[in-house]
Amino acid sequence: MDGPSASAIMNEFSLSSAASPRAHGKLTLGDYEPEPCDADETLEALKLIRILEEAGIDCCFCGVSALIYYGAERVRDEWELCIPTQLMPKAELLLKTGRFAETYLSGLPSPHPQPQSLNHTYPRFQKRGSDFQFVLTPSWDVHLTCEPYSIQRSQLGLPYPRLGVLLQSYLETTNRVSLCDAVDGANVPEDWGHANLDLEGTNDLQWVARMNDAILATRREKSLLGLIPTVKISKRELWAKTIQEKGDRLGWTRPSDIFATRFRLHGSPDPWLHDQCTY
């Protein structure tokens, strides 16, 4: 799938590239020192990543977890873990067999189908004796690429899509809600997108067509309700509109002289760069 080049990603605006040196390496569990705001789930997530990476499976947290990492105020019920689509069978088998079958409970009930999504079809797991739940998500379905150059490490070593990679996926899939949340969390200016995103052309309609076919294949009744719209959307116009409407999204509870966006105060540090609370 098309997107920003590796060189563009690696030269991202300092929003993404100026993290402390720890964020660029893979940490071991011994490097982890819990801080008061860290949940037990963070350590479990780190253990899970270590298992998969040692098996040669590059991965990164996506969905709500990625939005939280970049500053959005979302509530997480489960951790969505993006796995290269071709490695999904390997990852699922790894966690369901051998000693890991004793660590993780599989076959969890699927949620009700959501519009424009295949999330209910993905394999779900829970750490035994813990509230830590996660779902394996095929990279193609969320229009992401799980490659080392496209991944950024948190202060604790958890992998997330680089900011430009994440925003590009929302533009390609016309995921307006997540795009707005990521923009308001990261508080990026419009010209940042001109330098770091592929804004030429429209959303990825080939992806839309394949996703809609896959969604229909999961249904007994071939209703067209809840499919992804097949309308062409200019990525440049969608980006500009999302940035220019930051102020409109503040609402009356967040005065513009205090709040830069829904999630950021004026002058506040980028949440993924400071050490006060890491994910």
pLDDT digits (tens, 9 = 90+) for 219-273: 877 777 889 999 999 999 999 999 999 999 999 999 999 999 999 999 999 999 8
What is the token pair recorded at 101?
């079958």
- Per-residue confidence band for 108, with pLDDT thresholds at 50, 70 and 90: confident
The reported pTM is 0.84
Cα–Cα distance list, 254 to 69, 74, 248 (Å): 21, 17, 11
Q: Which amino acid is at 247?
A: G
Q: Which pLDDT score is estimated for 278?
A: 53
Strand, coil or helix: what is 79? strand
Give dist(CA 73, CA 81) in Å, integer.
19
What is the token pair recorded at 258?
């205090």
DSSP 8-state symbol, 249: G
pLDDT of 120 > 70? The answer is yes
Cα–Cα distance list, 172 to 4, 182, 239 (Å): 12, 14, 11
